Amino acid sequence: MFKAIVTFFGDNLDAFGMPDPFYSYLVVVSSWKTPYSGVASIVPLSLEAPLSRNHFLVTIGGERAAFDAAIAALKAEPGNARLAFHSEESPL
């Protein structure tokens, strides 16, 4: 089981020096019921963060594959597509 803080951010800065836009997500990943399966859940930490789907279940590849599916979906979100990306993973 692990978690990651994932951010997407623009080049412009707001009046407080924060990138604009700035979208942040918590991605929590764990194994699932069957061997080699995994599930990732995404929680938006920014009010306006675009999110079409918040759970990703894979039956092959385990936790890493579930995480990769979640990240690919976040990168494909229209609101995130042209923004810079950063991820910081850690065990739970």
What secondary structure does DSSP assign to the chain, as a single string?
Answer: -EEEEEEEEEEEE-TTS-EEEEEEEEEEEEE-SSTT-EEEEEEE-STT---S--EEEESSSHHHHHHHHHHHHHHHSTTTTTSEEEEEEEE-
pLDDT at 32: 96
Q: Which residues contact 40 (CB under 8 A, 6 or more apart)?
A: 27, 28, 29, 55, 56, 63, 66, 67, 69, 70
Q: Quote the pTM value.
A: 0.93
pLDDT at 92: 75
The whole-number mean pLDDT for each consecutive block of 10 residues of the chain, a chain of 92 residues, reads: 97 97 98 97 97 98 98 98 95 82
Q: What pLDDT digit, counting tens, does each position of 63-86 carry?
A: 999 999 999 999 999 999 999 999
